[in-house]
Amino acid sequence: MPLFTIGISHHTAPIEIREKVAISRAEYATRISDLCALPNVEEAVILGTCNRTEIYCLSSSNGREAVLDWLHSSNGLPSGQLDEHIYLHEGEDVARHLVRVASGLDSLVLGETQILGQLKEAWQYAHEAGSLGKVLDRLFQHTFAAAKNIRTQSGISEHPVSVAYTAVVLARQIFGTLKSQTVVLVGAGEMVQLCGRYLYDHGISNLLILNRSLEKAEELAAQLDGTAMTLERLGEALPRADILISSTASPRPVITQKDVKAALRKRRHRPMFLVDIAVPRDIDPAVSKLNDAYLYTIDDLQKVVDENMEQRSVAAQAAAADVDEAVSSFMRWLFGIRANRTLKRIREQSHDFEQDLTERALRRLEAGQDPAGVLQQMANTLTNKILHLPSKRLREAAEEQDYEVLKAADRIFRDGGKDDGK
């Protein structure tokens, strides 16, 4: 059964493309159900983050094209629009990619830890949706254990850096100190919570938290000594914002150019530093055209990320061997499953032969035929039946010059299955 991954990430596509295929938590159940309804899709997991959308599938036959078509149609995109941005992994490469993703080796910020939690959420969502089977469940759980070990052994997660942390670092580089600045956080999800904790650790004293749900904003504000407000009070909060960081689940911008322009007038054009770490974007890109408004997106954070790459690349190289071992371990299990299925079919077929020939032999013995002759005929017939299909396949392999099959057969049957070293 083919195992494959189809994905799009910050490596292959700009934010304008990634936001078109972003999948929210509210959409997950419907999307995964539609995906599993496709022909040949047996198991599926969808991973959706601000930097990537990936579909992990196990199919009964070639289902890659159907999944790719579904990715276009489910997002209202013309067929082929994503082709130049899509990457495909199959078989062993699926396991290798997933282990790298979980370990933070494929992240925008090398070694960031948030992705592992996001993967666990995707696995849990798939479990709840009933789209997990034996293979993908084992792959993800194996990956979680491997990623934890890799992070510990390599030290790649020492001094963890995430997109949220990078946003705070960038703000600190611009303002020097954050203690005297007023920060507005829009949203109350995980990304905003991380930003809030980092800001709090940097001694920020003026913190406003805006969210559609006042209760959630109040919960976060209580932890960070901030002030909670509803999103409806955005017009009141914006003029106070020296720094604004936004990450909501809104499908369209919640902060417009008009909003920021009005805020700048009230601020007498004191600069505003705005960071949009949401996908789809929370802040209208046109804001970047305003004087005194400095807008950064996730893609812009790459400039800061590059400063961390050199020190973490050494740890990444050290992790390569651990990744290889994790992949090999899973593939041994997967091939073991496949071997067991083959052995089960062989045993069932041989058992059927045995039963049929035993019944025939008993009838001949009851009819008074020579026992030795009956047993000899039974043995010859059983041998011929068992060897018929393998013999036929080997002849076909020879005609087709399929040397892999021929070598495998030679290893299996040489000296009763023992390799003589030749």
Tokens of 91: 């078989």
The candidate with the shortest Cα–Cα distance to 174, out of 262, 304, 268, is 304
* pLDDT value at residue 420: 46
Q: Which residues are catalytic?
A: 50
Cα of first residue to Cα of last residue in the chain, in angstroms, is 33
Instruction: Convert 361-380 to b/e letters by CB count within 10 Å (16 or more is b).
Output: beebeeeeeeeeebeebbee
User: What's phi and psi for 39, nearest 5 deg?
Assistant: -55, 135
Gap between the Cα atoms of 301 and 289, Å rounded: 18
Helix, strand, or coil here: 109?
Answer: coil
The candidate with the shortest Cα–Cα distance to 335, out of 154, 156, 95, is 95
Report whether pLDDT(402) > 80. no
- The CATH number that domain 163-301 falls under is 3.40.50.720
Name the residue with higher pLDDT: 237 or 327: 237
* pLDDT value at residue 62: 73
- The CATH number that domain 3-158 falls under is 3.30.460.30
Report whether pLDDT(416) > 60. no
Supply the DSSP string of 330-381, one letter for each residue: HHHHHHHHHHHHHHHHHHHHHHHHHHHHHHHHHHHHHTT--HHHHHHHHHHH
Spatial contact of 18 and 51, defined as CB atoms under 8 Å apart: yes
* pLDDT value at residue 320: 83
Spatial contact of 36 and 6, defined as CB atoms under 8 Å apart: no
Lowest mean per-residue pLDDT among 147-151, 173-177, 343-347: 343-347
**What is the band of 161 on the pLDDT scale with cuts at 50, 70, 90?**
low
Please state whether beta strands 41-48 and 3-9 pair in parallel, antiparallel, or not at all (unpaired).
unpaired
Lowest mean per-residue pLDDT among 2-11, 168-177, 403-412: 403-412
The candidate with the shortest Cα–Cα distance to 199, out of 179, 219, 174, is 179
Report whether pLDDT(421) > 70. no
Please state whether beta strands 3-9 and 52-59 pair in parallel, antiparallel, or not at all (unpaired).
antiparallel
**What is the band of 243 on the pLDDT scale with cuts at 50, 70, 90?**
very high
Rounded alpha-carbon distances, angstroms, from residue 87 to 9, 22, 64, 123, 127: 9, 16, 11, 21, 25
The arrangement of strands across the sheet holding 272-276 comes to 227-230, 206-211, 182-186, 243-246, 272-276, 293-297
The predicted-structure confidence for 87-145, as pLDDT tens digits, reads as follows 999 999 999 999 999 998 898 877 888 899 999 999 999 999 999 999 999 999 999 99
Gap between the Cα atoms of 233 and 214, Å rounded: 11
**What is the band of 343 on the pLDDT scale with cuts at 50, 70, 90?**
low
* pLDDT value at residue 222: 94
Radius of gyration in angstroms for the set of CA atoms belonging to the chain, rounded to a whole number: 30
Tokens of 335: 């091939």
The candidate with the shortest Cα–Cα distance to 220, out of 250, 251, 197, 242, is 197
Please report, for the chain, the start and end positions of each structural domain, with discontinuous segments joined by +.
Answer: 3-158, 163-301, 336-417
* Residue 66: burial class (beta carbons within 10 Å; 0-12, 13-18, 19+): middle
Same fold yes or no, 3-158 and 163-301: no
Report whether pLDDT(314) > 90. no
The predicted-structure confidence for 65-94, as pLDDT tens digits, reads as follows 999 999 999 999 999 899 999 999 999 999
**What is the band of 422 on the pLDDT scale with cuts at 50, 70, 90?**
very low
Identity of the residue numbered 415: D
What average pLDDT is seen over the chain?
Answer: 86
Gap between the Cα atoms of 115 and 421, Å rounded: 46
Q: What is the pTM of this model?
A: 0.63
Q: Collect all residues with Cβ–Cβ distance below 8 Å to 239 and sequence separation of at least 6.
A: 262, 263, 266, 267
Lowest mean per-residue pLDDT among 24-28, 283-287, 303-307: 303-307
